[in-house]
Amino acid sequence: MELLDRYLQAVKKHLPWERQDDIIAELRANLEAQLEDKEAELGRPLTKEEAEQWIKQLGSPIQVAARYQRQQYLIGPTLFPTYWYVLKLAFMWATGIYVVARVMTLAAQGSSAEAYAGIALGLPGMWLINAAIITLVFAVIELSGTQFGAKIAQLPPLNPGWSPLDLPPVGASDGENKPWSFAKAVAEVVFGCLFFAWLLLVPHYPYLMFGPGAWYLASLPYKLAQAWWPFYWSIVAINGFELMWKFADLTGGAWQKRRMWRHWAMHTLSLIPLGILLAAPGQQLFLAKSAAANVKTLADANLGLHKALMIAVAVVVLQIVWHAGKMAVESYRKRVAA
């Protein structure tokens, strides 16, 4: 039943990560047996409304998952799921805001690479202050008595007014964990070949990328610097490499295997073309083609693109670190399950 799958997925998110799979497997077996009994009793499958009612009476995902948490002392079991939820949200938002704000400030000031490295060094301190403030607030709430604590526990997302129909669809959050079908793998290779051919044709037929705008761009008094050629060929090489990887997986019968590692590797390789553009001599990516070129516009365009590339590199590096963390957690969970 799709609604049950969505419910279990939502419960899983809030379970202790090292025991998630085991607990969900047990919960699924029990709930499916219960569902079979209900349907046998009725002589028909549950209607959508009956299924919603049944799942709703099981309890909200965060509350059900909370029962499996170990006892906490500083912050009690009633308040702890809310505290944990707020802490994760705050970490995520604070990190995003901090990194974007710092990178933009430094980019505007034209700071050095050391200054950018300083952003990463400032992260632990920022996390620590965040965690300390949130923990302190929740500890005070816990200490201020059960009456207040119970009221907090009624706030979203613990609100009893939740509905199973509001849960996200199955696989929306961890689609990469689902096995890949053969048809999808073949389609991926076929479309990958088409894209590769398109990529090779673009330098000869620019209208394939820009459409009618290609003629307008050609009429402008600006041209691309030489650095765009190694950038282009690095993109071609990376795409060719990924295509061969997919093809090898397909022919080797490994199209179903997890794709996290490949995703991470391709993400890391994407730093190469970005690095090539960043290393362009004098940060000049656009050049004047004729005397009609406006020198200030040209300088502004080069500076703007350079800053945008710096931000893109920072974002890609963050994504690489994030994916590496996810893979490490996944690998540890597998070892624990084994």
Segment interacting with other proteins, rule: CB under 8 A, options 20-28, 97-105, 136-144, 283-291: 20-28
Q: Number of residues in contact with other proteins, rule: CB under 8 A?
A: 17
CA distances from 234 to 98, 121, 285, 307, 310 (A): 32, 31, 16, 21, 18
Give the bridge partners for 22, in sequence order: none
Contact between 29 and other proteins by CB under 8 A: the answer reads yes
Output the CA–CA distances (angstroms, integers) from residue 135 to 16, 62, 128, 259, 318, in the order listed: 19, 19, 10, 37, 26
CB 264 within 8 Å of CB 323? yes
Considering only 1, 3, 23, 94, the residue that binds other proteins (CB under 8 A) is: 23
User: Residue from 1, 13, 59, 283 that binds other proteins (CB under 8 A)?
Assistant: 59
Tokens of 285: 């990516």
Cα separation, 320 vs 318, in Å, equals 5
Cα–Cα–Cα angle for 198, 201, 206, nearest 5°? 100
* Two tokens, residue 257: 């295997």
Q: How buried is residue 245: exposed, middle or buried, by Cβ count under 10 Å (0-12/13-18/19+)?
A: middle
> With contact defined as beta carbons under 8 Å apart, do 222 and 286 qualify?
yes
- Does position 31 interact with other proteins (CB under 8 A)? The reply is yes
Of 3, 24, 58, 288, which one interacts with other proteins (CB under 8 A)?
Answer: 58
Angle in degrees, 0-180, between the axes of helices 113-143 and 295-337, rounded to the nearest 10: 50
Q: Which of 48, 67, 88, 178 binds other proteins (CB under 8 A)?
A: 67
Point out which span in 58-66, 159-167, 179-187, 234-242 binds other proteins (CB under 8 A).
Answer: 58-66
Nearer to other proteins, 32 or 300 (CB): 32
Q: State which residue, 59 or 157, has the beta carbon closest to other proteins.
A: 59
34 binds other proteins (CB under 8 A): yes
Residue 279 contacts other proteins per CB under 8 A: no
State yes or no: residue 77 binds other proteins (CB under 8 A): no
Distance CA 83, CA 183 (A): 44
Q: Does 26 bind other proteins (CB under 8 A)?
A: yes
Least Cβ distance, residue 239 to other proteins (angstroms): 42
Tokens encoding 224: 């691309």
Distance CA 11, CA 66 (A): 9
Minimum Å distance from CB 158 to other proteins?
13
Looking at the Cβ atoms of 19 and 88, the one nearer to other proteins is: 19
- What mask, x for binding other proteins by CB under 8 A, covers residues 300 to 329? ------------------------------
When asked if residue 18 is in the footprint of other proteins (CB under 8 A), the reply is: no
Q: Which residues bind other proteins (CB under 8 A)?
A: 23, 25-27, 29-34, 37, 58-59, 63-64, 67-68
